[in-house]
Structure 1
Amino acid sequence: MNYVNMNLSEENTLTKLSRMAEESGFIKPELYRKYEVKRGLRDLDGKGVLVGLTEIGEVHSYIMDEGEKVSVPGRLIYRGIDIRDIVKGFIEDNRYGFEETAYLLLFGNLPDPNAQKEFEQLLSLYQRLPEDFTRDVILKAPSKDIMNTLARSVLALYSFDENPDDTSMQNVLKQCLRLVACFPSLAVYGYHALSHYHGSQSLYIHSPRADLSIAENILAMLRPDSSYTQLEATLLDLALVLHAEHGGGNNSSFVTHVVTSTGTDTYSAMAAAIGALKGPRHGGANIKVVQMFEDIKEKLKDWEDDEEIEQYLTRILSKDAFDRTGLIYGIGHAVYSISDPRTVILKGYVSQLAQEKGLEDEFNLYAKVETLAPQVIAKFNTMYKTVSANVDFYSGFVYKMLNIPMEMFTPIFAISRIVGWSAHRIEEIANSGKIIRPAYKSVAPRRSYLRMNERSRDM
């Protein structure tokens, strides 16, 4: 074909083709009801469609009473142990908990002191990246989105693995532990590449230290002077613990099961999970919370005036304020209704950090919105009788107080959730399940093939 003399406008052509693509992709909503399709794999009452079994994590938010669903305060359970008890244990012992939590999720039991030490030594051994990896993979092709950098880096690590396609349990475990250990470096170095090449900031690369926890290493590698306070590291460690796992039904963990079921390699499975977490409906909500509060702080005259706050929240719901989506970010959850246990745990420590940073007024504003928003939502839309703040409501505020750049919010989520993904990949392999292949029903009408000279320009 000779396209040289064609007078083709790329924009006009793409506009036309995109319209055609959208029209061809649209399915009438009533067909989903007709064929009883559970869109989003959720029932009409919001319950998830049961697609698998897991022993890793459990999300508990309601009980059945005489056939009726009754909401209860939310609980998050790791390997049968309530997250509140896990947090209480390591906080009262005045130690970091993410490594212990990782051991529990991966191996099913809490480690004794010797097992904990051996596990931490193994992670320290695995935390250094391959020689010249930072220069050749991360710094030479900086991305404007660190989640993309993270996914690309994970796929690149395949090339440095002597047995990348070996799906034996020992090899997969080794690959997963290497990823758990090096994710902080991949994400932090990705941020430094972004800030240097796209933000004209000074470039500095700190190596991870074997004597520091994962939370401490994140702060030490991220900051120019590698300094941090005990409370800062404790809060980040706590955030990592609370985000490490959320049952097999969350989108990215389900993706891990789906991709693992094909028999593919660990790096491909984890890159797919990263792609799922990157989506703003999954991992990026705390960014929107911070942005929303910046708008609230700017627009409110009196942060203590409940009536003024309620009026502005109503404007947000009415799509007259902030990003005009009608959403109060950080309020409500697909599973929890009365309370998100992660929010309950995090809030008390957020108050301490706010005092240390001199941001008590801003914390009080968050607390007021947390209280008032459910009331405003209930008045605005009677369908939502019970909603509460989810973990994203305060996690973004925590990261902001830790001077963690907004571009790192979702990557920190990934640094934590790689543990859960690894546990779910191992669980899928251990059970030797079939390839996950749900059914889709075609509702396209049958048509005859038309020869080229029989087709009109408007088809």
Structure 2
Amino acid sequence: MSTPSYSLLNNATGEKLDLPAIGGTLGPVGLDVGKVYDKTGVFTYDPGFSSTCSTKSAITYIDGDQGILLYRGYPVAQLAEHCSFLEVAYLILNGELPKGQELQNFDSSIRKHTMINENLNRFFEGFNYDAHPMAMLTGVVGSLSAFYHDTTNNKDPRHREIFAHRMIAKIPTIAAAAYKKYYGQPFMYPQNHLDYCSNLLHMMFAVPAEPYHVNPIAAKALDILFTLHADHEQNASTSTVRMAGSTGTNPYAAIAAGIAALWGPSHGGANEAVLTMLDEIGDVKNVQGFMDKVKDKNSGVRLMGFGHRVYKNFDPRATIIREQCHKVLQALKVDDPKLELAMKLEEIALSDDYFKARKLYPNVDFYSGIIYKALGIPVNMFTPMFAVARTVGWVAHWIEMVSDPAMRIARPRQVYTGAAERTVSPIAQR
């Protein structure tokens, strides 16, 4: 693919440095600045890496201006409508949608890895009774590296596949166990006759005292949510997995690092913040006053669930999830006043020039929390649900990275702003 050429002028010497352009299938080109320091003695400076490509990837494409999200070339809306989450997981891992037998084999492999070691179950006893489920998830996933060190040869494709299937299969079991620990209920073992999302709901909500039947509407809603959250290019948690994985660390440890990054309220914790915001507003009659405070920069009030670091248009996932939100609440006969609040917030944001000028459109977090709440999932489990879905993307990016013969350890640089070199004085003279 032909790409334009660029050059950097060194003002000190008058020399030009050619910057090779790295072209992709879609989107803008990237400039290879890897030799800038060697040739000019200066660093490139990009806080937050908002204009920096850290890698080449064939997994996910985002056009934030147009509101486009593609997994392996397929629009996420089409995948959410026509495919199950496990089909999407296969696609993200392997590059193509599965055929019938391929999906059956993949599904079978995931099901046989759903149980976790009994000793791992006992790890939960060490957590305090009120430990946040994300704290448990981070710790327990990290501890998988102590159980599975025999098949983590990063250069062996079969070992990478076993790791991928294990991680995707076990993360719902671990998340459900964290839920049970928090609420003081006995752990429920996976039921491998159930599909992926039904199994998760069963492990969370079933108890030994009575039978539990998974509502297929709830399982379908969760399946769609997982599809929408499966991957999102080089976001903070995925970049964390890649950075940790670039050291050659045990892959389970790299996933644990991604879970820790996801926990942040600016990342995976945003849907928790939306529900907290709706609770604070309390009633529809308070919405306009709340939005006025949002527009007052001195008020300190923030509008959660609107706008996105990448999307400068409507988040394509939000359109799907908004429709699903209505379906779930209607089908489950949930009368949730928070939906009315959410609708009013959206109405004002989409009609008010202040929000339109800043392109503060609803994002995927805005409605997902309402759906989770309708399914009976408590607020502190919202981010673990996100982690279950995003594990697919993390694993795929880790595999893509370690499969690349040109992989290098991640090592960002900095502009040093501390004290210049100085001499240590004896303590009596300081």
Q: With structure 1 as the length reference, what TM-score do the two structures score?
A: 0.78
Which ranges in structure 2 are unaligned for 5 or more consecutive residues?
1-41
Correspondent of 2:169 among 144, 164, 181:
181
Q: Are 2:179 and 1:191 equivalent residues in the alignment?
A: yes
Please give the root-mean-square deviation of Cα atoms over the aligned residues, in Å. 2.1
Match of 2:18 in 1: none
The Cα of 1:455 is off from its aligned counterpart by: 4.6
Q: Are 2:220 and 1:263 equivalent residues in the alignment?
A: no
The Cα of 1:361 is off from its aligned counterpart by: 4.8
The Cα of 1:227 is off from its aligned counterpart by: 3.0
CA contact (8 A) 2:262 2:387 kept: yes
Structure 2 SS opposite 1:357: coil
Match of 1:60 in 2: 63
Q: 1:257 to 1:132 in 2, by over 3 A?
A: closer
Match of 2:409 in 1: 435
Q: 1:406 to 1:319 in 2, by over 3 A?
A: farther
Q: 1:316 to 1:449 in 2, by over 3 A?
A: same
Correspondent of 1:285 among 258, 264, 270:
270
The Cα of 1:35 is off from its aligned counterpart by: 7.8
Following TM superposition, the consecutive aligned residue runs of length 4 or more in structure 1 with deviations greater than 6 angstroms are: none
Which letter maps to 1:60? D
Supply the distance in 2 between the matched residues of 1:35 and 1:310 (Cα, whole angstroms). Answer: 47
Moved more, 330-339 or 435-444: 435-444
Structure 2 SS opposite 1:431: coil
Correspondent of 2:420 among 438, 446, 459:
446
Supply the distance in 2 between the matched residues of 1:126 and 1:57 (Cα, whole angstroms). Answer: 26
Q: 1:325 to 1:410 in 2, by over 3 A?
A: farther
Correspondent of 1:353 among 325, 328, 332:
328
Per-residue CA deviation, residues 227-265 of structure 1 (Å, 9 max, x unaligned), is: 332211111111011001001x20111111111111111
Match of 2:3 in 1: none
The Cα of 1:217 is off from its aligned counterpart by: 1.3
Supply the distance in 1 between the matched residues of 2:423 and 2:142 (Cα, whole angstroms). Answer: 41
CA contact (8 A) 1:339 1:388 kept: yes
CA contact (8 A) 1:139 1:190 kept: no
Per-residue CA deviation, residues 30-69 of structure 1 (Å, 9 max, x unaligned), is: xxxx987221112xxxxx322221111111122xxxxxxx
Which ranges in structure 1 are unaligned for 5 or more consecutive residues?
1-33, 43-47, 63-71, 91-96, 197-202
Match of 1:392 in 2: 365
The Cα of 1:281 is off from its aligned counterpart by: 1.1
Per-residue CA deviation, residues 355-374 of structure 1 (Å, 9 max, x unaligned), is: 23332654233122112125
CA contact (8 A) 1:260 1:269 kept: yes
The Cα of 1:375 is off from its aligned counterpart by: 4.4
Match of 2:343 in 1: 367
Match of 2:140 in 1: 153
Report how many residues are paired.
381
Supply the distance in 2 between the matched residues of 1:76 and 1:316 (Cα, whole angstroms). Answer: 29
Work out the percentage of aligned pairs sharing the same amino acid.
29
Supply the distance in 2 between the matched residues of 1:454 and 1:208 (Cα, whole angstroms). Answer: 67
Per-residue CA deviation, residues 392-447 of structure 1 (Å, 9 max, x unaligned), is: 00000010111101111101100000100000000001113111212212233323
Q: With structure 2 as the length reference, what TM-score do the two structures score?
A: 0.83
Structure 1 SS opposite 2:70: strand
CA contact (8 A) 2:114 2:190 kept: yes
Supply the distance in 2 between the matched residues of 1:234 and 1:425 (Cα, whole angstroms). Answer: 28
The Cα of 1:319 is off from its aligned counterpart by: 6.9
1:13-162 maps to which residues of 2 (within 5 A)? 37-42=45-50, 48-62=51-65, 72=66, 74-90=67-83, 97-134=84-121, 136-142=122-128, 144-162=131-149
